[in-house]
Amino acid sequence: MIDVDLTYSAEDEAFRAEVRAWLADHLVGEWAALRGTGGNGRDHESYEGRLAWNRYLAEHGWTCLGWPEEHGGRGLPLFQQVIFHEEYARADAPVRVNHLGEELLGPTLIAHGTTAQQERFLPRIVAADELWCQGYSEPGAGSDLAGVRTRARLKGDQWVVDGQKVWTSNAHLSDWCFVVCRTDAGSSRHHGLSYLLVPMDQPGVEVRPIQQLTGTSEFNEVFFDGAVTGADMVVGEPGDGWKVAMATLGFERGVSTIGQQVGFARELETVEEAARANGTIDDPGIAVRLSQAHVGLEVLRLHALRTLSAYDSGSEGPEASVSKLLWARWHRDLGELAMDVVGLAGLTTGDDYALDRLQSLFLFSRADTIYGGSDEIQRNIIAERVLGLPREPRPQEPRREARA
């Protein structure tokens, strides 16, 4: 563990004032109606308006802030990126639609892509002109990414892809998908994987929405049946897919997690307001849990800043491995607290299964400890890779008896 300075400089605070002023001046008129829209379980809200707002941000230089300037970004230091996400969330600005391109694929292409790939895709990500989804999880390989069975074979100047992905966020709205698939037919586990860029609008790709507890369908199944992409659409070398995929997951714990936590704070305020309105805040048990939630949220914020600082300095340690465990359990507990605050009212919905914000919070947060790497997988990673404990025993293939 390393010591890091978690304070903001005068220059950082000046940048904060700039971001806050810009949002106050521009998140008005037609854009003001978008405040608070989008988010987990609510990605369907004002989608076209949020896409237009995302492109408006791009026109004014507020996308891809941490990317190097030569790739279309602003090259801002870590804490100024954090400040932007803090102020963006505090302004209740609409959730952006280009997260996977801007925060995951773009940095991956900067680190591992060819010059041609960077020139082809990065400007369109900066401008939010092309949207991306992530083709990792499969029915038999969720948190266990090394178990993927989707296959691709090189045929002439094209990769031909066959297989299925699942829990693919916003695949129905995406132009491209970055797909981890097996390109070495005789390989197993993390060997023989490749990281392909596959266009979604083609006959060989079928997207089927998955209806969630919230009644919405931002997750999808994606079926590849002879889908094709160019031979040059592999990031890194064929067979390097595991290394590239792990790099992408590293970018996933980027500065946007700070904005996520500011969103959590707004949700906690909503729960607290509900408790004050119906009097449950006078219940000692509820009051204690609200206090614990505030303390837990501050722990999340400080832990995230420490982790990001270590990562930015090239001294990443075990802190990053526990982040998902911390926030997933905190957020799930907040959903349960919300339902205990509203009581029986939480059991009823509006017409056509219309949910209020606290009901959506509770239902969607049930998945927090599962998606993005389940708690069980996260604990195995911490045990084996951080603490150096023996690997968990894995099931063996049954031995076949030799025939007489």
Is position 252 annotated as part of the catalytic site?
Answer: yes
Asked if residues 186 and 192 have their Cβ atoms less than 8 Å apart, the reply is: yes
CB atoms within 10 A of CB 250: 16
Query: Using only C-alpha atoms, what is the Rg of the chain?
Result: 22
Query: What's the CA gap between 39 and 107, in Å, rounded?
Result: 22
DSSP string covering 170-201, please?
A: TGGG-SEEEEEEE--TT--TTTTEEEEEEESS
Asked if residues 158 and 230 have their Cβ atoms less than 8 Å apart, the reply is: yes
Alpha helices in 218-318 (DSSP H): 241-252, 256-278, 284-312
Amino acid of residue 168: T
The token pair that represents 168 in the structure block: 């693919």
Which position among 252, 272, 316, 336 bears the catalytic label? 252
Task: Give ∠ CA 329-330-333 in degrees, rounded to 5.
Answer: 85
Query: What's the CA gap between 341 and 329, in Å, rounded?
Result: 18
CB atoms within 10 A of CB 332: 20
> For residue 375, how far is the Cα from the chain centroid?
16
Q: Which residues are catalytic?
A: 252
